[in-house]
Amino acid sequence: MFRFQIQRKGRMNARKRIAFTLVELLVVIGLIGILLALLLPTYSRARLAAERTCCLSNLRQIGVYLQQYQNQYGGKLPIYFTPNYLDKSIYHGGLNDYTNLGLLVPAGIAPQSGSPMGRVFYCPGSSTLGDMRRFDTPSNPWVGRKDFFTRITYSLRNEYWVWNGTTNYWAIQYPNARWDMDKTTDLQDAFVNPYLPSYTGKVFPTVDTLNHKSSTAIITDLIDADPAIRKLIHRGGWNVLYANWSAKFVPQQSFTVQLKNLEIQEVAAPGTPKARRAWFDLWQELDRH
């Protein structure tokens, strides 16, 4: 009997030793919290770096598409503006026609309607502007669905506009702006930045007609003057595709003055000559990097 009691007592003590005390649990939880605090910033930086790298890869692939377009259509680049959604619209649901970079699709170069490869036109770091700026959503289908607009997350240089041949209205003029469909007319003339009328030329430029030739910045993921929106894309700068087909990350400090002026003008007088000039100055600064 005495031996049985000793054995029973020993088993009870063993069970007590297996259990954690409240203090021990708190210590373990505290250690886990410290590890998470140390690892989460590292994970966040790694994720942002991966998104930035993937975005650069997207821009380089778009550059390949543009080179193919050049080869097919006499050196022309479809990097112009249309008024509806401006530089980020690639299909116009009102006209039911492709616009801007969207012309790469009917040319048989960029991914066709319904293709998951169309994701190349969307920066993986962009979480802004909701459903209408995300890839292949009900309100932003990929691409060419009748009566729908399709928008992407990359911006074109905002100096090339389609003009309707009048002096008071900038508008899409189809079929006048379809080099790829051989429908060019005399109405296709466009100003390079209408508020800086020292230069005029065709709406579809060639590399030789760009302001700084092959060093001209033509596409970027800088999609808005609003700093709150910019923070939702890449931290500290933007990816840029140049006309020599290189793509690189340009730090924000490289054009802080131009960016601040753009913010001021877009808040004070959006769409005015001063705001257009601010955008022009920003792109000119990107050319230098």
Q: Is the dihedral angle over the CA atoms 102, 108, 112, 116 positive or is it negative?
A: negative
SS3 224: coil
Q: Is residue 54 part of a domain?
A: yes
CB neighbour burial string for 95-120, b if at least 16 within 10 angstroms, e if fewer? eebbbbbbbbbebebbbeeeeeebeb
Q: Is residue 65 part of a domain?
A: yes
Q: Is residue 270 part of a domain?
A: yes
Contact between 93 and 147 (Cβ < 8 Å): yes
- pLDDT digit string, tens, across residues 45-101: 677 778 889 999 999 999 999 999 989 888 888 887 655 545 688 888 877 888 889
Q: Is residue 34 part of a domain?
A: no
Specify the pTM. Answer: 0.76
Q: Cα–Cα distance between 154 and 174 in angstroms, integer?
A: 23
| pLDDT tens digits in sequence order for the chain, 289 residues long | 545 455 555 555 555 556 667 777 777 787 787 777 766 666 566 777 788 899 999 999 999 999 999 898 888 888 876 555 456 888 888 778 888 899 899 889 999 999 999 999 998 877 665 677 789 999 899 999 999 989 898 988 876 665 544 544 444 444 445 555 454 443 344 444 444 433 344 567 778 878 788 899 999 987 676 766 766 677 788 899 999 999 999 988 888 888 888 888 877 777 677 877 888 888 888 898 8
Q: Is residue 118 part of a domain?
A: yes
Q: Is residue 135 part of a domain?
A: yes
Q: What's the number of domains the chain is made of? A: 1
Q: Name the token pair of 21.
A: 């005390």
Backbone angles phi, psi at 150, to 5 degrees: -120, 130
When computed from its CA atoms, the radius of gyration of the chain, rounded to whole angstroms, is 27
Q: Is residue 121 part of a domain?
A: yes
Q: Is residue 60 part of a domain?
A: yes
Domain span including residue 231: 39-287
